[in-house]
């Protein structure tokens, strides 16, 4: 097999079959995928959840992850945010002619490594090779089916008095991607928070905690999640700026470039709305996971300014935390 991807490897013939067999099936094979059928025949799930996402990040490899890990985490995390255990994923890959085969295999190995954190399988896939210049390296689309382990989690369940908790420090993914893209040399080892969230959610549910709503704070960051929740329920969410966990590295980049940490993307950080009585146990559970020592209760749901997010500063001033606008960091996930 050649060292770079050729158009012939997407022609549906022998070269295409060899690429699929030697790269994808070799690393991701399982009883369902190995059947090689046009569609996966799956075990029926009692309470299914379904989602899909596309990943076009630049650079493809970044501190803390790569597009392969991201494609598994992103889709599995969307399922986890509905209280659903990820079960089956499809994998669609669009590859640019000339892409290095060893890089493709590195990405597929990363996918293989992340799947067990979710107890999920790749059961269906597709590979396309497109002419040089048509895409920037490689794009991935993953769809996922999960099984809901808890009913009644959703935006509409948020109510006045709910506590708002964030699972760890915010903004790491957006800051890490920006630093990698611009070649910034930092004295510290800033990495993306890219991670699978099902283990944390499963631990919360097993402990008897039923969050009213969960949301991974990806594009648009913490600010987008809070504004979406406030607007959807016509409630006010009030947060304490001093309680929002931000690492020194992320804060430094934000101060240098004029970014708002709450606008930066995350790929392994989620926000919870839950009964205030459940907060101490929830924090204790989250603190057991990597980065979870920064988990914090940052605010609560009120009714003062319906549909708005209010940010209270440590100096006693208040302002609205609005939706992010513009193209802050293109192609971050």
Give the E-state strand segments of 241-281 in sequence order.
270-274
Q: What is the CATH number of the domain that holds 126?
A: 3.30.1330.10
Q: Tell me what the mean pLDDT of segment 94-106 comes to.
A: 97
Rounded-to-integer distance, Cα 15 and Cα 91, Å: 19
Does residue 173 sit in helix, strand or coil? helix
In this structure, the answer to whether residues 175 and 116 fall within a common structural domain is no
Cβ contacts of 277 within 8 Å, gap of 6 or more: none
End residue of a domain, out of 148, 176, 206: 148
Query: Quick check: 229 pLDDT over 90?
Result: yes
Q: Residues 297, 300, 303, CA angle at the centre, nearest 5°?
A: 170
The reply to whether 327 falls in a domain is no
In this structure, the answer to whether residues 142 and 266 fall within a common structural domain is no
Query: Quick check: 112 pLDDT over 80?
Result: yes
Which of the two residues, 329 and 18, has the higher pLDDT score? 18
Q: Tell me what the mean pLDDT of segment 303-321 comes to.
A: 94
Rounded-to-integer distance, Cα 48 and Cα 85, Å: 9
Position 186 scores a pLDDT of 58
Position 284 scores a pLDDT of 98
Q: Band of the pLDDT at 185, cuts 50, 70, 90?
A: low
Give the E-state strand segments of 154-292 in sequence order.
163-166, 213-216, 236-240, 270-274
What is the extent of the structural domain holding 182?
Answer: 155-320
In this structure, the answer to whether residues 165 and 314 fall within a common structural domain is yes
Position 11 scores a pLDDT of 86
Question: Which residues are registered as beta bridge partners of 164?
Answer: 273, 299
Where b means 16+ CB within 10 Å and e means fewer, 126-159 reads ebebeeeeebebbbbbbbbbbbbbbeebebeebe
Q: How many domains does the chain have?
A: 2
Does residue 298 sit in helix, strand or coil? strand
1-10, 63-72, 90-99, 273-282: least confident range: 1-10
Q: What is the CATH number of the domain that holds 161?
A: 3.90.650.10
Q: Tell me what the mean pLDDT of segment 292-298 comes to.
A: 97
pTM, two decimals, is: 0.95
Rounded to a whole number of angstroms, the CA Rg of the chain reads 21
Q: Tell me what the mean pLDDT of segment 72-95 comes to.
A: 98
Rounded-to-integer distance, Cα 18 and Cα 225, Å: 43
């Amino acid at each position: 097999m050649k060292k770079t991807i050729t158009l012939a490897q997407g022609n549906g013939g022998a070269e295409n079959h060899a690429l699929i067999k030697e790269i994808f099936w070799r690393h991701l094979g399982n009883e369902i995928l190995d059947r090689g059928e046009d569609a996966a025949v799956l075990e029926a799930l009692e309470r299914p959840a379904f989602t899909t996402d596309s990943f076009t990040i630049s650079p493809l490899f970044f501190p803390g992850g790569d597009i392969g890990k991201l494609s598994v985490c992103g889709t599995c995390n969307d399922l986890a945010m509905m209280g659903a255990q990820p079960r089956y994923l499809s994998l669609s890959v669009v590859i640019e002619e000339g892409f290095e085969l060893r890089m493709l295999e590195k990405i597929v190995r990363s996918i293989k490594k992340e799947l067990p954190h979710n107890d999920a399988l790749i059961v269906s896939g597709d590979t396309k090779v497109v002419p040089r210049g048509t895409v920037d390296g490689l794009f991935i689309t993953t769809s996922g089916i999960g099984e809901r382990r808890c009913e009644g989690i959703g935006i509409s369940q948020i109510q006045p008095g709910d506590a708002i908790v964030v699972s760890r420090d915010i903004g790491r993914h957006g800051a890490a991607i920006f630093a990698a893209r611009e070649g910034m040399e930092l004295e510290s080892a800033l990495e993306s928070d890219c991670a699978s969230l099902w283990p944390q959610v499963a631990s919360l549910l097993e402990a008897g905690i039923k969050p009213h709503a969960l949301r991974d704070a990806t594009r648009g960051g913490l600010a987008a999640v809070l504004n979406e929740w406030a607007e959807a329920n016509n409630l006010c969410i009030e947060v304490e700026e001093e309680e929002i966990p931000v690492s020194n590295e992320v804060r430094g980049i934000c101060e240098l470039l004029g970014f708002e940490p709450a606008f930066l993307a995350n790929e392994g950080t989620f926000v919870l709305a839950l009964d205030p009585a459940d907060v101490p146990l929830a924090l204790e559970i989250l603190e057991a996971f990597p980065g979870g020592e920064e988990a914090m209760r940052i605010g609560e749901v009120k009714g003062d300014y319906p549909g708005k997010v209010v940010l209270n500063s440590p100096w006693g001033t208040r302002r609205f935390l609005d939706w992010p606008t513009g193209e802050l960091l293109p192609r971050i996930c």
